[in-house]
Structure 1
Amino acid sequence: MEDFIKVAKRENNAKRSYLYVNPLQGKHVPVSPIASISVFTCLAKMLEQRFPQERLLIIGFAETATAIGSNIAYEAANADYYINTTREDVLGTDYLFFTESHSHATEQRLVKKKLEVVLDKIDRIVFAEDEVTTGNTIEKLVNVIKSEYRGVSCKFSIISILNSMSDERMDELQHRDISCEFLHRIPFEYHISDVNKYKYERLRSDIPKGNKTNPIWIDIGNSWNCRVVQDTVTMREKLNAFVKETMEQLSIDPKTDSLLVVGTEEFMFPGMLLGKKLEQQLNIPVVRFHATTRSPIEISLDQNYPLHNRTPLESLYERERKTFIYNLQHYDRVIIVTDSNQKNLNGMHNLLSALEEYGNKNVTVVNWGDANAEE
C-alpha cells in the first residue's frame, strides 16, 4: 500500500489539513512514466471489463487526476470521449460550475462546448480521480449535469486508484446511480494523524529568478485541448503524432544517465506519454516525470515523508498565480512539456530558474499549441 499512498500536510487549510500523495501518480513526486502508466492502464482495463457494452465519456479531475483520466481514455477500448475539468479560461464557450470545498482553489469548471451533443451518444460518464474520500465533489458535478441537461439518460460512475469512502456512503451513491470502481480500498481518514509526527521545514517564499539557461524551443502543431470534449480516436491520433514528432526533433545524447520530463499544472498526460516512449526506447538509466501544481503542501526532510523540497513559481498560464514544483534534483537533461503557449513568460523564466538552481542547464521546452485555441 505504501507504493500508492503517502500522507502529507496541506499548508494553512482548515477544511482538510491532510492530503494523500500518490508516489506513482506523477504529480508531485518524480516517477518512472512506465510505472505511472501501468497503474492507470489497470483502471482502463477495469472499465473495459466492468462496462464492456457501454460507450463511455471519461472526465478527469483537474489538476491532479488529469493524467489518470487521459490515460484511461487513451487505453480503454470502450472510452469514446474525454474531457477534464479545468480552472483555466477557454475561449468560445460557457461552463458548468461546481466547487471542491476542501481544495486550495475551490472553483471547478467543465466546458460546455460540444458536451450536449456527446451526452446523446454515450451510455455512461466515468469520473476519474486519484483518491475519493467522500465523493461530494463528484456528486455536485453529477447534480449540475442533470440540472443543465434534463434529458440526459446516461449513467454515472467513479473510478479511482484509492477509495476511502465508508460502506454507507458508497451505498448512498449507488442508490443515486453513481457506482464506484477502484484499485485499492483504504479506511476513511487512513493514517491522517501521521501529519503530526513530522518536523516541517520553513517554506521558501521567494520565487527563483536570474535564469541564465538558454533552452531549446520546439513548437508542435495540431494541438490537443484536453479541456474541450473530444472523441478518443482523434485524441489518440493527436497524442501519438505529438510523441512521434517530438521524438524526431529531440536530440538526446546517448551518454545521458538521467532525464526529467516536466508537465505544467493541468497539462500532464502528453509529457507523461512522451516520457514513457523515451524510457522504453532509449537506454537511459533514470527517466522521471512530474508536474508543476497549484497545491500548497508542507515539506519535511524525514525520509518517510513524500515531499522534501518545494519551489514557488509564477504560473505559466497566468501572471501572479502561485504554483509550485516539488522534489527537484539534478538531471542530465530536462524536457518541459506545456500547452501554455508562452502566455506568461515570467512563469517560464521562474521554472527555468528553479531547474537551474538544482544544476539543470540542458533544458528543452516543448510547446504543444495553445490551450485556449478553439477546437
Structure 2
Amino acid sequence: MSAQTGATLTADPGVAMLALRRNPRRAHLIVSSLLGKHVPVPAQVPLSAAAALGALVRGALDHTPYVLGFAETATALGHGVARVCSAGGGQAPYAHTTRRPVPEGAHVLRFEEEHSHAVEQVLAIRDDTALRDPGRALVLVDDELSSGRTAVNAVRVLQQRWPRETYVLASLLDVRTSAQRAANVTEVADLGACLRSVTLAEGSVHLPLDLTTTAAKVIASAAAPPVSTRSQVPVVRWQLSMTAPLTSAYGWQAADEQAMRAAVALLATRLELPGVVLVLGDEEFLYAGQLLAQELGPHVCTSSTTRSPALVVDEPGYPLRTVISFGATDDPDRAAFAYNVLPSACPDRGPAPGFDHIVLLLDRPVPPHAESGLLRQLACAARTGVQVVVVGSGTEAAVRRTA
C-alpha cells in the first residue's frame, strides 16, 4: 500500500500497521496489532497491553486517577488500564465516551473527534462525584495518538465542567511529532492544567499531501474482497445475566468489574468449542468478549465489529484481509463491519485464518434485521457453528440456552 500511496508508518508491525480508510476526512487508518478490534488476536494480547499501559500510568502518578476511554476503539483498552492503575495497583474509577443514546439524568459533555467517520464523542456520567476532585488526575486512553487534537478537544470541555490540575494521555502507539506534542502541552497549559503522556510504543507516520486523492483512486480500483461460499452452520443462542451494568460508558467501579468477570466465567463453563475460536464483540461492547476469550483458553481469539469503513486488500502484509458488512445492531440504516472474520483466500492467510466457531456477544436483544444480516453472514463464515450470547442485567449471574 505504501508503494501505491506514498504513505508510511514507522512502527513495529507487532504494534500497528497502516491501512486505507473510506473516509474523506482521513484517508489512512492505523490498525493496532494489540487492540483486539480490527485484527483478531488471542485475548491475552490486548489484556496484557492494557495492563502494561496501566502500569505506566500508575508509575506517572502518586494517587488513583479517573480513567476515561475513547469510543469506540479504546473502550476495552480503557477498562484494562483502569483495572490496574489505582495507587495500590487495583481498580480505578472508569468510564468511556459513547455514541449511543444518553440516559436521563446523566452529566453530559460533547466534543469532536475531528478526523473520524463519526465526529461527535459524548461523555455521559451518572455519578460525577469522583470527577469533582481537582487534585485527581484524569487519564485519557486511546489506541493511538496521531495529532492529539481529540484529546485536547476533550480537555477543553472537561476543564469547563470538572476543572483539574493534571491530565495524562495514555496510548498504545504515539506517532505525534515533537512539535505536535509541545503544542498539545501548551494548549492544555493555557486551559490551566498540566498534560503528561505515556505510551507503549512510539513511531512516526508520513502522509503525502495528495493522499486523499491517491487513496480514492486506489480504493476505486481495488479488487472485490473475498466472500463466503459456504452454507450456513447452526446458530445456538444464549442469555447471560449479570449484576454489572451492561455498559461502562456511564461509570464503572471495582464491584462492577468483579460482577462481569464472574458472569463471563460462568458462561465459559457452558461453552464447549473445539478448534479455532473467535469471540466477537459489538462496537463499543468488546471488553466482555475479551474476558470470555481469556476464560475459554489461551488460543481463543477476540475482535469486534466496528463503524470504521476501510479498504480491504487480501494480500500478505496488509492488516485488513477480509470483511463482512451489515446493518449495525442499533441502526439498520448505518453500515457496520467485521474485519478478518472471513478466511483469506491466500495461502498465507495472516490475520484472517478462518474460524471453526464464532461467539457473538451483544448487549441488546438480536434485532430482526440482524438475523438476515450479521448473523447470517457469521453463519456462512464459521466452519462449524455460531454461538450468539445476549447479555442482560439480572439480580445474579445466570446463563441459559434459549435456542
**TM-score of the aligned structures, taking structure 2 as reference length:** 0.81
Specify the alignment match of 2:177 in structure 1. Answer: 166
Aligned-residue Cα RMSD (Å) equals 2.7
CA drift of 1:124 comes to 0.6
Query: Is the CA contact (8 Å cut-off) linking 2:233 and 2:382 kept in structure 1?
Result: no
| Partner amino acid, structure 2, of 1:59 | L
> Residues 296 and 203 (structure 1 numbering): CA distance in 2 closer, same or farther, change over 3 Å?
farther
> Residue 119 of structure 1 aligns with which residue?
131
- 1:184-333 equivalences in 2 (<5 Å): 184-189=201-206, 200-202=222-224, 213-224=234-245, 225-231=247-253, 233-248=254-269, 250-253=270-273, 256-280=274-298, 286-328=299-341, 329=343, 330-333=354-357
Q: Any conservation in 2 of the 1:337–1:368 contact (CA below 8 Å)?
A: yes
Q: 1:32 aligns with which of 42, 45, 66?
A: 42
Count of residues paired in the alignment: 353
* Structure 2 residue aligned with 1:283: none
TM superposition shift of 1:336: 1.2
Sort the Cα spacing of 1:332 and 1:188 in 2 relative to 1 into closer, same or farther, 3 A: closer
Match of 1:106 among 105, 113, 119: 119
- In 2, Cα distance between equivalents of 1:62 and 1:264: 12
Bigger mean CA deviation after superposition, 130-139 or 329-338: 329-338
Does the CA contact (< 8 Å) of 1:173 and 1:179 recur in 2? no
Q: Structure 1 CA distance, aligned partners of 2:285 and 2:73?
A: 10
Q: Distance in 2 between matches of 1:263 and 1:182?
A: 25
- Structure 2 residue 112 is the aligned partner of structure 1 residue 82: no
Amino acid of the residue matched to residue 238 of structure 1?
A
| Corresponding letter in the other structure for 1:230 | W
User: Structure 1: how far apart are the matches of 2:261 and 2:201?
Assistant: 30
Q: CA deviation at 1:173?
A: 2.5
For the 8 Å contact 2:144–2:171, the answer to whether it is kept is: yes
1:310-354 per-position Cα deviation (integer Å, ceiling 9, x unaligned): 111111122322100111234232211121233x33225422211
Q: Contact between 1:223 and 1:369, CA under 8 Å: does it hold in 2?
A: no
Residues 213 and 191 of structure 1: CA distance in aligned 2, closer, same or farther (over 3 Å): farther
More displaced 10-residue stretch of structure 1: 195-204 or 126-135: 195-204
Runs of 4+ in 1 over 4 A off after TM superposition: 190-199
Identity %: 24
Alpha-carbon displacement from aligned partner over 1:28-68 (angstroms, at most 9, x marks no partner): 111111122111211011112221x2121111111111111
Give the gaps of 5 or more residues in structure 1: 281-285, 371-375
SS at the partner of 2:168? Answer: strand
TM-score using structure 1 length? 0.86
Query: Deviations along 1:59-111, whole A, 9 cap, x unmatched?
Result: 11111111111111123333521001100003223521111111111111000
2:361 paired residue number: 337
Q: Which moved more, 1:171-180 or 1:105-114?
A: 171-180
Match of 1:54 in 2: 63
Q: Secondary structure of 2:48's match?
A: helix
